[in-house]
Structures are given as structure tokens and as C-alpha cells.
Structure 1
Amino acid sequence: MSLKFHWFLPTNGGDGRQVVGGGHGVRAGASGRPASVPYLGQIARSAEQLGFEAALTPTGAWCEDAWLSTAMLSQVSDRLKFLVAFRPGLTSATLAAQMAATFQNMSGGRLLLNVVTGGESHEQRAYGDFLDKEQRYVRCGEFLEVVRRLWTGEEVTFEGEHVRVERAQLQQLPDPQPEIYFGGSSPIAGEIAAKHADVYLTWGEPPEAVAKKIAWIRELAAKEGRELRFGIRMHTIARDTSEAAWAEARRLLDGIDDETIKRVQDGLKRSESEGQRRMLELNRGSRDDLEIYPNVWAGVGLVRGGAGTALVGSHEEVAERIAEYHDLGIDEFILSGYPHLEEAYWFGEGVLPVLTERGLWQHPAPPTGTVSVPFGGRAAAS
């Protein structure tokens, strides 16, 4: 299977040349570029030109609404899919199924869904959701069961602990059905993923920890008679040389002051997310020893909630780490960088040609009738 690469749309207050913090109950940090349709459209068009399959769009109080943002951006891009993060339970299962079907049909099949159960009770309550974390996962499973059944055209009557519908049915079905991406490190999250996810996502951890997660989910999915694909969410700093990449990592770290690190870390420690706890363990709130594995850097997580690690190195080194994760079972990589427009080109023009040479990746929609020259490569018809 050819690897799939996805990029990120920085609707979380914008973008900039420094790490833009926020997420998981923490306010978005300062940025230099607004989350506007013209700028995000640049990122979307560049991502699809470079060969990224989709773009993740976050959800939460710290960013613009993912559904509305991506609906607008679908009109200024051609092929790129949108991995829309959404929280089940903040709207009815029937309405969510209908929204997804509408997006899928009107965009030409360009919707993927990133189901986010919600790890911060205080933020959930701001949206009117007063369930605790465990109950949110129970509701999520019920929600996804109803949504999937509706997508098949079934008339659904369902009465669960949290979700109830009577004679629900969609008149317009999604074609194809959107794939569901799902992450979570707690025991109940694994159960929900095994039953409902198409792709299980993990944040970037050292390979040994990722391998354990994959084995855990595979075992749970096998009990359900299912097989899942696996993806990983990380940032990237890829340059022509290792020295240049690490110099950029140091520049980003130098742009973060100690007061901000302390404030954000204190906020993230209140998170109920097991995955967030694991991210904090990797950086320990310290500037020291942030290379937690060769070419894996935990500096982003000092001020950013959620994905807190980055692949850092030369194009060849980053490609090598990607191949190592792939050997464990990771087939999809959701990446981002600062700024997102420029970093997409560093990765797309630097790392992807290396992976092509190794037979691990091919452009999903290669241009025709042109000549392309990869970094350090020879001109070839493409």
C-alpha cells in the first residue's frame, strides 16, 4: 500500500513563523497570518499540488468551525479532501449524518471525518454538554452506530443510554460513505475505535510506544471481526541538511518564553485526555532533552495541546523515520508545520521524492505533460 500524507489547515487563530499554541482547553497563541479563506485556500491548493490527500481541520473553542471553513475551502480547491474534526453529541446523530452526506455529495466525495469525543469537560460544558468523559465515549459509540446505519439508507429506530432516534432515514445518501478517523488512548476509546473506526490515529510517540498501541487496537478490532488502518499525527521540520532542520527547531524553541511554557503546561495538566497526558510526559515542561528518539522532537508540545511532536532532520532522515513507523503498521501521516504554507513545500518537495524513490509513495494525481525535478534528482517526465 502506498503511504498517504495529509496536511493541516490552521483555523486555530491563524498561522505564523513561531509555534502557535492552544488547544485542549488552552487559548490559541499569537499568530501572524489570519485564518482567512484566501490564506487557507493557498495552503489547500499547495497541499493538493504537492500530493497530500487531505487536510485535517481542528475543532473546539480555540478555532474556527471546521464544517463551515472546509465547505468554503472546497470551492477554492479541486482534489484535496477535508478531514473534518467534529464532536459527536453536540448535534443530533441524524443531523450530523445528513450534514456529512451533503458535504460528501456536493464536494464530489472529498469528506473524511475525524471523530473527537472531547477530553476537556470544562470546554464541553461551554457547549452545553455536561456528560463526564466515560459517558461521552458511550454516547460516541451510540452516535456512530446510528450515523453509519443511516448512511446505508436504513430506517433507524434506536434507543441507547444517550442517543435516541425514531424512524430516522436519509433521503440523500453519501457517495461514497465518509471514512471515520478516530483516536484515543484510554481503554474505552480503544473499544469504540475497534467497533467503528476505519483509521485509528495516534499522536507521535517513540516507535516502541506506537507499536504497543497498534497491537492493542488490532487485538480489539480482531475481536469485533474488523481490520483497521493506522495513522499518526505529527509536525515536521524537514530541510536539505540535518543541521538546517535542527537550527529551525532551535529557532522555534527560542521564540517561546518560559512564562508561556509554564502557563500552557499548567493548563494542559488539567486535561482529562490520556493522549495529552502522554504528550506532557514526553516534554516534561522542560526545554532540555527534547529529542525523545532520533529525529523525533517534543518541543511543539511545550505550548500546543494535542499533537506535540515533530519529525526533524534532513529529507532523507525524515523519510527514514517515516519508513520506520510504516514498518510498524502506520500507513497514513497527518502532518503540519510553521508556517504551514512554506513547510508544506519543504516536506512535499524534499521528503516525498525520497519516499517515491523508495517505492513507498506515489502522487495521488500526478500532473501530466510536465517535467518535474525532485530535490537532488534528475529531470523526468511525470
Structure 2
Amino acid sequence: MTTNSNEVEVYWYLTAPDGPSPWSSDGARKIDLPYLRQIASAVDQLGYTGALLATGPHDTWVLGSSLISSTEKMRFLIAVHPPLISPVLAAKMTQTFDDFSRGRVLLNIVNGNTPQMQAYGSTLEHDERYAYTDEWITVWKKAVAGESLDFHGKYITAEGKALQLTSTQKPTPPLWFGGSSQAAHTTAAKHIDTYLSWGETPPQVAEKIKELQALAAEQGRSIRYGIRLYLIVRDTDEQAWEEANRLLKTMDETTVENMQNNLRNSDSVGQQRMLGNHNGKIPQDARELEIYPDLWAGLSLVRPGPGTAIVGSPETVLARIQEYRDAGITTFIVSGIPLLEEAYRVAEKILPHLPIASHSITPSKQEEKVFTWEHKIH
């Protein structure tokens, strides 16, 4: 996947929960497949590059597969936790998804945090997870490309040729990745196509990109850079901050305390950085959590992961997006609350003013794949 140096990619968010204030019982919507199909259809038709299917209540592979036939152009950024799945099985799932979607799958490699991974049965500590991911990606790339395996690592052993397909995208579908620790940066520089930041300020992002560029250069590589942000865009700056205050007023102390207690146990460097923006305290006015001009940290009071939003008029939002572009960002994963309505608002007020890269989809008439009976039996 290549883009002009001036072009950007813009992805939406396609993960529950959702609603006018999804952290509250009276502000959360019922999320089912028909509703998620509405969001996917909007993403597909409104000019977005694709959507992130992030860690949430639904399995990302099943959700993505359920939406292939409902979309034509949308690219699927699927969140994957390496410690929880064999790299060869993940390669087979990737090949299948890439085949059936005509080359529209991307993988977002997620290392999670220790309590989360322990709940799924993985006992690897923080830096060990990145060492495991290093081996996992090495095996995954060879398997997706259809190569025979002869890998003997500290964590993973894989021998022989288990898969009959190769991926539609060559040599493999692109890999995306986030993580703010040194171990994360080292792994990203070695393997990843697009590195994602968690809504830090433009100067912080510029510094991080500078470090990653140096690490990637040591590997003889170059990588792209993206960022995950919320957008609160209205006709004027005043109206946008009124919406931020509306959201703030739906956050009660019990919900915030419970969320913050859970997140304080995280060993994610990025998560701790988000918590430091507010220390779990609900302010009287949304502007009190403006950590940089037009950048609001209030959503990280009630949600895990990246919780910063650009707040303002279309002109203000576009100016801040340009500042991130100047820092080196070429990919934006954005969303609003609620997802469905804000997908239209952002598409109408922001997307027409951005040079969004176009990506060709593999024609539906593909080379016929023929498998003999011998190939099917193992």
C-alpha cells in the first residue's frame, strides 16, 4: 500500500460500546450486528479509508468477517493479540480474510497489559510479550507468504508447510502496531508498516517519530505513522466545547473511579500517560482538561486506551490535523460519539478538505484456486 507523500488515510472506529454517552446505563445503545452494519456501510460510502475493529466485547475476526459482504471498499484493521493465537493459525485466518475481502485486511498488533492477558491465560510479562511478538511476526510473515517454516525461537517453534494459500496482498497484508515503551519501539522498528500513537500532543508525537525513525533506519527500514483520536467538531469552537461539556456532565464519580481503578493496574506506558492527563478527577469545566490547544483529555476518564479529542470548528480541527501531519503523521484513526451520527458529521465537515489516498481493490475475478484431494488430507 503506497500513498503520495501529501496524502493521508482516514479510518473510523467500529467497536462497541456506543451511544450518546456509552459509559452510562441510559446513554449506551444496544449494539448488534445490524447496527454495526449501519456503521460499516457509512464508513464504506462516505470516503473513509477503512475502520479499526479494536479490542472490545466482540471478537474482531468474527465481526470483520460478518461485514465483508456488507461493504465494497472499506479496509478492515483487525486487532490481534499475538500471545493468544498461534502465528500460523493467524496467518491462515489472514489469508482467508484477505482472499474473501479482495485484499482489504490489515492487522493491528496489540500486546495488551498484564492483567488483561492473564485473564485470557497468558502469563508473559510486559517486555516478554514484545519478545514473543517479535518471534510471532517473523513466523506469521513467512506463513502468510506461503513459505515452508523452520523456526526455532525461545517461545515459538514452527516446522513444515501447513498452509495452502498465499495472501492477496503481496508479500503480506500490512502490519500496524502501537506501544510507547522501549521494547515496543524496538519491535515496531523491526517489523511494522504503520506505527500508531495514542493521541499525544503534536510535539510529543514529533519526538516519538524521531526516535522511531532512527530505530527503523538501523534496521534498514522506513515506516509510516498514524494516530488515534476522537473528534468533537461543530460549526463553531464554542459549540464544540459545549458538546465536550455535555459529555463531561454524563460522567459520574462512581463510573470514573471504577475505570481509573482498573486502569491504574495496567503496565501499559501509553495508558499511564493517558491517566496522567487528569489523575482521575472530574473537573467543573471541560477546558480544564485541555492539555494542548484544542486537545481535550476528558474521554480518558471513562474509557481505556487513547482518550483524547480534538475539539473545535472544522477550521480548528483541520488546523490541528495539519499540525499532526507536519509532525509526520499520515494516518488518522478517528471517531466521535455516537459513532454512526458522527461518522456522517466528520465526513461532511472534515473529509472533503483532506487529500485522502485512494487504494485499489483486487478485481473480483481472481485466479481460480484448485485443491486436490491429497492437498486437503493431512
TM-score, L = length of structure 2:
0.89
Q: Mark the runs of 5 or more structure 1 residues left unpaired by the alignment.
A: 22-28, 366-382
Secondary structure of 1:128's counterpart equals: coil
Contact 1:85 1:113 in 2 (8 A): yes
2:84 is aligned with 1:90: yes
How many Å apart are 1:287 and its aligned residue? Answer: 3.0
CA gap of 1:270–1:30, structure 2 versus 1, over 3 A, is farther
Residue 169 of structure 1: how far off its partner (Å) = 4.3
| Alpha-carbon offset, residue 264 of structure 1 | 1.2
Report the CA distance between 1:58 and its aligned residue: 1.4
Which residue matches 2:96?
Answer: 102
CA positional deviation for 1:346: 1.3
Q: Which runs of 4+ in 1 moved over 4 A?
A: 362-365
Quote the residue 2:347 is aligned against: 348
> Does the 8 Å contact 1:157/1:168 carry over to 2?
no
Give 5+ residue unaligned stretches, structure 2.
361-378
Are 1:133 and 2:126 matched, yes or no?
yes
Following the alignment from structure 1 to structure 2, what is the Cα–Cα distance between the partners of residues 297 and 99?
A: 38
Q: Displacement, 1:363?
A: 6.5
Deviations 1:205-258 (A, max 9, x none): 111111111011111000000000000001111111111111111000000012
> TM-score of the superposition, structure 1-length normalised?
0.88
- 3-state SS of paired residue (1:33): coil
For 1:54, the equivalent position in structure 2 comes to 50
Matched, 1:322 2:321: yes
Q: Distance in 2 between matches of 1:78 and 1:142?
A: 34
Amino acid at match of 2:88: T
State the aligned residue count: 349
Structure 2 counterparts to residues 48-197 of structure 1, below 5 A: 48-59=44-55, 62-119=56-113, 121-176=114-169, 177-197=172-192
Task: List aligned pairs for 1:1-382, cutoff 5 A.
Answer: 1=4, 2-11=7-16, 14-20=17-23, 32-59=28-55, 62-119=56-113, 121-176=114-169, 177-288=172-283, 289-355=288-354, 360-361=355-356
Counterparts of 1:214 and 1:30, CA distance in 2 = 41
Cα distance in 2 between the residues matched to 1:31 and 1:155? 51
Cα offset for 1:163? 0.9
Aligned-residue CA RMSD in angstroms?
1.6
| Residue 91 of structure 1, CA deviation | 1.5
Question: Quick check: 2:20–2:28 contact (8 Å CA) kept in 1?
Answer: yes
How far apart, in 1, do the equivalents of 2:207 and 2:353 lie?
Answer: 28
Q: Distance in 2 between matches of 1:80 and 1:111?
A: 9
Aligned in 2, Cα 1:342/1:210: closer, same or farther, shift over 3 Å?
Answer: same
> Aligned partners of 1:114 and 1:203: how far apart in 2?
14
Q: Which residue of 1 aligns with 2:363?
A: none
Q: 1:64 to 1:31 in 2, by over 3 A?
A: farther
Partner amino acid, structure 2, of 1:154:
E
